[in-house]
Amino acid sequence: MPLSEHEQRLLEQIERALVDDDPKFASSVRTGDRRLKARRKLQLGALLVVVGLAVLVAGPATGSVPLGVLGFLVAFGGVTLGVLNYRAATGAVEAAGPAGPRGASAPGRGGRGRGRQPMKNRLEERFRRRYDQ
């Protein structure tokens, strides 16, 4: 959903304020692609799963139980790394939202969508107060 003109102006003001306040941080945020970093972590997770499974199989083959446990832990770490970065790597984080088409909370979400609107309003109000002074 595209931003309204008012929201675009607010976003531009926030960006300018960020560049004025902390130009080093602003440049690092601009150049960093979170999806690319998440994809690298996802690939690392897949590699860890493969290596961990190989070590897991090699453990009993050599008669070393600690080696098998180490293989399991490495594979488990790889799966964990992959699961934690899957949504960010595929871009599903930006596309998916907790609210349905009319802003209602999605079923089975525990009402998470209801708590976000007041916080957004508070942040906008703080922003307005800061720049109106």
3-state SS assignment for residue 58: helix
Tokens of 57: 């199989």
Lowest mean pLDDT among 11-20, 65-74, 114-123: 114-123
Lowest mean pLDDT among 21-35, 51-65, 105-119: 105-119
pLDDT at 70 over 80: yes
Q: Tell me whether residue 85 is exposed, middle or buried, using C-beta atoms within 10 angstroms of its C-beta: 0 to 12, 13 to 18, 19 or more.
A: buried
CA distance 77 to 68: 14
More confident residue, 45 or 26: 45
More confident residue, 78 or 96: 78
Question: Could you tell me the pLDDT band of residue 31, with boundaries at 50, 70 and 90?
Answer: low
